[in-house]
Amino acid sequence: MSSCTWLSRASLLRNELYGTSLKLQKSNSRSCSRNGQNCKVNASAHHPTHGGREDRAEPVASQKVRNFVVCAAGAMAVALSVPLQPPPAWAVAGSSVEVVRGPVYSEVAGLIAGPPVKDARALLRYALPINNKPIKEVQSALELITEDLKLPGTKAVDSAERSVRKASRALSQNKAAILADVADGKKDEGKELLDKLEDGLQSFTTIFEDKDRDALAPKQAELLDYVTHIEEDMVEKFPFEIPAEFADRPVLKGRATVEMKVRVKDNPNLTAPVVFKVVVDGYNAPVTAGNFVDLVQRHFYDGMEIQRADGFVVQTGDPDGPDGPLEGFVDPATKQMRTVPLEIRVVGDKEPIYGATLEEIGRFREGTALPFNAFGTMALAREEFSNDSGSSQVFWLLKESELTPTGANILDGRYAVFGYVTENETLLADLKVGDVLESVRVVQGLENLQTPSSTAASPSIV
C-alpha cells in the first residue's frame, strides 16, 4: 500500500496548533463509493487510551475506509487550494455511529464557497444583531470599493463610481427606513450620522471627476465608519438570555475596545511601543469576551511576555507561578482556575452553542458569526481534547482567508473567536517570543461588562 506522505499548508497549521502530526495514507477504495453509490460504514473500532492500554483492534475494512476518506479529502484540499477540513466523526477511529454517506468528495465540495470577507471591521459589522436590509445594502456597496481598487489604473475609479451610485441610491430611497431602526435614545445621533453619510457620498463626485484613485480608500473608510456607528446604534438591547449556569462569570453584553501596548525587543524598525486596538465582541461570545475584559481590568496581562510567535499565531496568557508558568487565571475569590466554556455562534442562530465543537454536533459546514477570516483574528486557546478548558491564554491568527476561508477551515467551530485587531494588525507578524505587553486597557465599552457582583447589584439589560 502506497502512502500519501505530503502535508498541505492547512495540515501543517493543524499540526502547529494542535501539537499533533497528520500523516495521510492512501488505501484501496474499491469497497466504498464505487460509481457514486452510497457507502454504509459501521466504525465501531476502539483506539489506544491515554494510559497506553489498547482496546480491541480496529477492523481492517473500517480502517481502510477511514484512511481513504482522510487521504481523498487531503488531495482535494491541496488540488483546489482549500484547507483540509477535519474528517467527519464517522471516519474517525473509535466512533460507534452507523451512517450512510454519498461519495467522499462531497464532504470537500461542500466547503468551496465564494470569496470570504477578510476585513476585520466588515466582519464586525456583519456580526451585529441587527436586521435592516437598506443599511446593509449601503454597507456592501461601499465595501465593493475594496474590490474595485484591485483593477488597474482608471478602471478602478470607474468601477468605484458604480459602487458609490449603488450606495447613494440605497440610502436616498431608504433613509427613513434606516432611521426607523435606530434605537429610540439614539435617533438624533443616527440622523446626524445619516446626513454625514449622505454628504460623504456626494463628495465622491470630485474624486471621480479628477480620476483621483488615491483618494478612494480614505473616503471609503470614512463613510464605512459612519455606517458602523449607525448600525451599532440600531442595537437597542442585548439579543438573548445568557444561560443561568454562567451567572457566576463575568460577561460582556455588547462590545468593548481594548488598547494593547507592546514593547518589541531587538527590532530596529519598531523602537517605540506598538499600540494595537482590539474590538472584543460580546454580542456573539459574551462569556469568552467577558472573561477577557475582566482579566484586562484586573491588569492580568500587564507585563506579560509574548509566549509563542511561530508565523501562524501569536499567543500569550499563561501567568507566572511560584514554581513556574501556570495554565490559566486562578480566581483569588475561589482559589481555583477559572475556565470558560467553548462558545461559538453559528450564522442564523440566535445564541451561541456552548461546550461542543461544530464538528461534534454535525454542523461543521455552517459559517460562524465570528470566523477566522481576518489577519489578527483573536480567539481563546484551549486544550485539544477538552472543549471547556480555556482560561486566560489567547492567540491571534497570522493568516488570512486564502488559508482559512469561512466554513472551510480547521479553526472555525473549534475555537472561540471573540474579537479582531482593527488597528496595526499587520504588525502582529513582527512580534517575537519575549516581547512585552506593557499595558492592556479597555478604552471603550467597559459599561458593557457585567461581573457577578455588578449583576447582583443591578438588573440585567436583557
* 64: pLDDT strictly greater than 90: no
pLDDT digits (tens, 9 = 90+) for 71-118: 444 443 333 333 333 333 433 334 333 333 222 222 222 333 346 789
* 377: pLDDT strictly greater than 70: yes
At residue 125, what are phi and psi to the nearest 5 degrees?
Answer: -65, -45
Instruction: Please indicate, yes or no, whether residues 158 and 63 belong to a single structural domain of this protein.
Output: no
The span from the CA of 172 to the CA of 398, in Å, is 40
Structural contact between residues 115 and 406, judged by C-beta atoms closer than 8 angstroms: no
Instruction: Please indicate, yes or no, whether residues 402 and 329 belong to a single structural domain of this protein.
Output: yes
Residue with cell 453509490: 37
Instruction: Please indicate, yes or no, whether residues 196 and 53 belong to a single structural domain of this protein.
Output: no
The span from the CA of 153 to the CA of 24, in Å, is 46
Dig out the grid coordinates for 326 from the structure: 501556570
Dig out the grid coordinates for 403 from the structure: 488559508
The half-sphere exposure of 184 on its side-chain side, counting CA atoms within 13 A, is: 1
pLDDT digits (tens, 9 = 90+) for 39-53: 322 333 333 333 333
The half-sphere exposure of 25 on its side-chain side, counting CA atoms within 13 A, is: 10
Split at pLDDT 50, 70, 90, the class of 266 is: confident
Is 123 part of any domain?
A: no
Structural contact between residues 71 and 124, judged by C-beta atoms closer than 8 angstroms: no
Is 119 part of any domain?
A: no
Instruction: Please indicate, yes or no, whether residues 228 and 262 belong to a single structural domain of this protein.
Output: no
- Percentage of the chain lying above the pLDDT 90 cut: 65
Burial degree of 105 (CB within 10 A; 0-12, 13-18, 19+): middle
Instruction: Please indicate, yes or no, whether residues 287 and 411 belong to a single structural domain of this protein.
Output: yes
Is 306 part of any domain?
A: yes
Residue with cell 447613494: 168
Mean pLDDT across 379-388 = 95
- Give 268 or 179, the one with higher predicted confidence: 179
Structural contact between residues 254 and 238, judged by C-beta atoms closer than 8 angstroms: yes
Is 115 part of any domain?
A: no
Contacts of 42 (CB under 8 A, 6+ apart): 62, 98
Instruction: Please indicate, yes or no, whether residues 221 and 315 belong to a single structural domain of this protein.
Output: no
Give the residue among 179, 138, 144 at the shortest CA–CA distance from 159: 144
Burial degree of 152 (CB within 10 A; 0-12, 13-18, 19+): exposed
Q: What is the DSSP letter of 128?
A: S
Coil, strand or helix at 155 = helix
Structural contact between residues 125 and 231, judged by C-beta atoms closer than 8 angstroms: yes
Structural contact between residues 134 and 235, judged by C-beta atoms closer than 8 angstroms: no
> H or E element: which one contains 17?
helix 9-18
Give the CA-trace dihedral at 31, 358, 425, 167, to 10 degrees: 100
pLDDT digits (tens, 9 = 90+) for 164-202: 999 999 999 999 999 999 999 999 999 999 999 999 999
Is 238 part of any domain?
A: no
Instruction: Please indicate, yes or no, whether residues 255 and 305 belong to a single structural domain of this protein.
Output: yes
* 203: pLDDT strictly greater than 80: yes
Helical residues (DSSP H) of 127-274, grouped into ranges? 133-148, 153-180, 187-209, 216-233
Split at pLDDT 50, 70, 90, the class of 120 is: very high
pLDDT digits (tens, 9 = 90+) for 384-407: 899 999 999 999 999 865 544 444
Instruction: Please indicate, yes or no, whether residues 293 and 431 belong to a single structural domain of this protein.
Output: yes
Instruction: Please indicate, yes or no, whether residues 134 and 228 belong to a single structural domain of this protein.
Output: yes
The span from the CA of 404 to the CA of 427, in Å, is 20
The span from the CA of 237 to the CA of 413, in Å, is 26
Among 233, 255, 285, the domain boundary falls at 233
Contacts of 63 (CB under 8 A, 6+ apart): 27, 45, 93
* 60: pLDDT strictly greater than 50: no
Is 117 part of any domain?
A: no
Contacts of 257 (CB under 8 A, 6+ apart): 277, 278, 279, 280, 442, 443, 444, 445
* 456: pLDDT strictly greater than 70: no
Instruction: Please indicate, yes or no, whether residues 277 and 419 belong to a single structural domain of this protein.
Output: yes
Instruction: Please indicate, yes or no, whether residues 314 and 363 belong to a single structural domain of this protein.
Output: yes
Structural contact between residues 397 and 372, judged by C-beta atoms closer than 8 angstroms: yes
Q: Most confidently modeled of 109-123, 355-369, 402-416? A: 355-369
Among 204, 233, 262, the domain boundary falls at 233
The Cα-based distances of 21 to 7, 18, 365 in angstroms read 9, 9, 23
Among 59, 79, 109, the domain boundary falls at 109
Instruction: Please indicate, yes or no, whether residues 344 and 419 belong to a single structural domain of this protein.
Output: yes
CATH of the domain at 151: 1.20.120.290
Structural contact between residues 290 and 250, judged by C-beta atoms closer than 8 angstroms: yes
Task: Give the structural domain span for 370.
Answer: 244-457
How many structural domains are present in the chain?
3
The half-sphere exposure of 137 on its side-chain side, counting CA atoms within 13 A, is: 16
Residue 294 confidence (pLDDT) = 99
The Cα-based distances of 422 to 25, 172, 277, 378, 429 in angstroms read 41, 30, 6, 11, 14
Is 125 part of any domain?
A: no
Rounded mean pLDDT of the chain? 79
